[in-house]
Chains A and B, each alone.
Chain A
Amino acid sequence: MNFELTKEQQMIKEMVREFAEKEIAPNAAKWDEEAYFSIEIFKKMGELGLLGIPFPEEYGGAGGDTISYAVAVEEIGRACGGTGLSYAAAVSLGASPIYYFGTEEQKQKWLVPMAKGEALGAFGLTEPNAGSDAGGTRTRAVLDGDEYVINGEKCWITNAGHARQVIVTAVTGKDDKDKNIISAFIVPTNAPGFTIQCNYDKMGVRASNTCELVLENVRVPKENILGDPAKGFKQFLYTLDGGRISIAALAVGIAQAAFEKALQYAKERKQFGQSISKFQAIQFKLADMAMEIELARSMVYKAAWLKDQGKPFTKEASFAKLFASEAGFRICNQAIQIHGGYGYMKEYGVERHLRDIKLMEIGEGTSEIQRLVIARQLGC
Chain B
Amino acid sequence: MNICVLIKRTFDTEEKIILTDGIIQEEGAEFIINPYDEYAIEEAIQIRDEQGGEVTAVMAGNEDGEKELRTALAMGADKAVLINLEEDVEDGDQWTTAKVLSTYLEGKNYDLILAGNVAIDGGSGQVGPRVAELLGIPYVTAITKLEIDGRKVKIERDVEGDVEVIEASLPLLVTAQQGLNEPRYPSLPGIMKAKRKPLEQLELDDLDLEEDDVEPKTKVLEIFLPPKKEAGKILKGELEDQAKELVSLLRSEANII
Contact surface of A with B, Cβ cutoff 8 Å: 7-8, 10-12, 14-15, 18-19, 47-50, 52-53, 57, 62-64
Contact = CB atoms under 8 A, between A and B. Distances in A.
B192 A19 contact: no
**In terms of DSSP, what is the predominant structure of the interface of chain A?**
helix
A11 B186 contact: yes
Contacts of B32: 14
B188 A7 contact: no
Contact of A48 (B70, B187, B194): B187
A63 B189 CA distance: 8
B134 to A, nearest CB: 32
A48 to B, nearest CB: 5
Contacts, number: 48
Contacts of A52: 188
Contact of A8 (B185, B187, B195): B195
B185 A19 contact: yes
B3 interface: no
A12 B188 contact: yes
Contacts of B185: 15, 18-19, 48
15 contacts: A7-B67, A11-B67, A11-B74, A12-B188, A12-B191, A14-B71, A15-B186, A19-B185, A47-B187, A48-B187, A48-B188, A49-B189, A62-B189, A62-B191, A63-B192
Contacts of B70: 7-8, 11
Contacts of B66: 7
A53 B188 contact: yes
B207 to A, nearest CB: 25
Nearest to A69: B188
Residue among B32, B70, B188, B189 with max Cβ neighbours from chain A (10 Å): B188
Interface string B179-220: 000000111111110110000000000000000000000000
Nearest to B188: A49
A53 B70 CA distance: 18
A319 B158 CA distance: 56
Residue among A14, A47, A53 with max Cβ neighbours from chain B (10 Å): A14
Contacts of B195: 7-8
A50 B187 CA distance: 8
A188 B19 CA distance: 60
Given A7-B70, A15-B186, A52-B188, 9 more contacts: A11-B70, A18-B185, A48-B185, A49-B188, A53-B188, A57-B192, A62-B189, A63-B192, A64-B192
B191 A11 contact: yes
Contacts of A57: 189, 192
Interface string B54-83: 000000000000110011001000000000
A19 B192 CA distance: 18
A93 B91 CA distance: 54
A19 B187 CA distance: 11
A71 to B, nearest CB: 12
A53 B187 CA distance: 10
Given A8-B195, A11-B74, A14-B32, A62 B67 contact: no
A50 B188 CA distance: 6
A49 B194 CA distance: 14
Q: Across the A-B interface, give the 4 residue pairs with the lowest CB-CB distance, nearest first.
A: A49-B188, A62-B188, A49-B187, A48-B187
